[in-house]
C-alpha cells in the first residue's frame, strides 16, 4: 500500500509498551509522529528513541504525540527501554508498538525489501489532528534521523495551516516567511500582514513570521 500526502493515516489496533493502542482513538486531537526503527538493541535506534524522549517537552509544546514501531515483541521493547533510559539519560514515556505480525509496517509500507528484507526502514509519518498524513521522511538503517528537522517541519505545517504563508529553504522559527502568491489584493495584504512585507519579486514577498 502506497501512502501519499493528504491520505488518511490508516487506523490499526496493535500491542505496545503502554498496552493496546487503538491508533486513531489514541491520537485524539493531537498531531502524531509515527516512526519506525529496524530492530531493538541496535545503536542508532537507541540514540533515536533517547533523543525523542529528551525532546518530549518540545513535542508536547506543539501538541504532538510520538509513537515508535518495530517488528520486535513487547517484552523485547520493555527490556530495551531500560537500556535506552540508562545509556541516553532519559525516560522513554511514549509507546513503542510491537508489530511482530507486521500489521502496521505493511499498512504504512515501512518494509523496503531491496533495503532490508524483514525489518522496517527508518520511516517517519507526521499526521495532523484530522488523521491526515502531512509529511513523510524515509532514512536508511545506517542513518539516524534529524529530529531538529522533524520539529522544523511540524512548526512549518502548524504555522502555514493558520496563516496564508509558506516557509522558504532552511527556514526555522523566527525567520521571515513567504506570502502565498494567490494573495494580491492590497487591502487583504494589509489586514493579514500589518507588520508589512518586502517584495523581492512580484511572486516573492517576504514578511516577518506571524504569531501562531
**Cell of residue 45, nine digits:** 535506534
**Cell of residue 31, nine digits:** 498531531
DSSP 8: B
Strand locations in the chain, DSSP E?
13-14, 21-22, 31-36, 64-70, 96-98, 122-127, 133-139, 165-166, 177-179, 198-201, 204-207
Q: How far apart are CA 99 and CA 117, in angstroms?
A: 15
- 133 CB-contact burial (10 Å; exposed 0-12 / middle 13-18 / buried 19+): buried
Catalytic annotation, pick one of 9, 21, 33, 45: 45
| 3-state SS track over 107-146 | HCCCCCCCCCCCCCCEEEEEECCCCEEEEEEEECCCCCCC
Task: Note if 90 is an active site residue.
Answer: no
Dihedrals phi, psi of 86, to nearest 5 degrees: -70, -50
How far does CA 28 lie from the centroid of its chain? 16
Active site residues: 45
Amino acid at each position: 500500500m502506497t501512502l501519499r500526502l493528504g491520505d488518511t493515516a490508516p487506523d490499526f489496533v496493535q500491542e505496545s509498551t503502554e498496552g493496546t493502542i487503538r491508533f486513531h482513538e489514541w491520537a485524539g486531537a493531537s498531531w502524531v509522529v509515527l516512526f519506525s526503527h529496524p530492530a531493538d538493541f541496535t545503536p542508532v535506534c537507541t540514540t533515536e528513541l533517547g533523543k525523542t524522549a529528551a525532546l518530549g517537552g518540545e513535542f508536547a509544546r506543539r501538541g504532538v504525540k510520538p509513537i515508535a514501531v518495530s517488528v520486535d515483541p513487547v517484552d523485547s521493547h520493555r527490556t530495551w527501554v531500560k537500556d535506552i533510559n540508562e545509556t541516553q539519560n532519559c525516560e522513554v514515556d511514549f509507546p513503542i508498538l510491537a508489530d511482530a505480525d507486521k500489521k502496521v509496517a505493511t499498512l504504512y509500507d515501512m518494509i523496503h525489501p531491496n533495503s532490508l528484507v524483514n525489518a522496517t526502514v527508518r520511516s517517519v509519518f507526521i499526521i495532523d489532528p484530522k488523521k491526515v498524513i502531512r509529511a513523510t521522511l524515509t532514512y536508511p538503517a545506517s542513518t539516524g534521523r534529524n529530529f531538529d528537522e522533524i520539529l522544523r517541519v511540524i512548526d512549518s505545517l502548524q504555522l502555514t495551516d493558520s496563516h496564508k504563508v509558506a516557509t522558504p529553504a532552511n527556514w526555522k522559527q523566527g525567520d521571515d516567511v513567504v506570502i502565498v502568491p494567490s494573495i494580491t489584493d492590497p487591502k487583504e495584504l494589509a489586514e493579514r500582514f500589518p507588520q508589512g512585507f518586502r517584495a523581492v519579486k512580484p511572486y516573492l514577498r517576504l514578511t516577518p513570521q506571524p504569531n501562531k
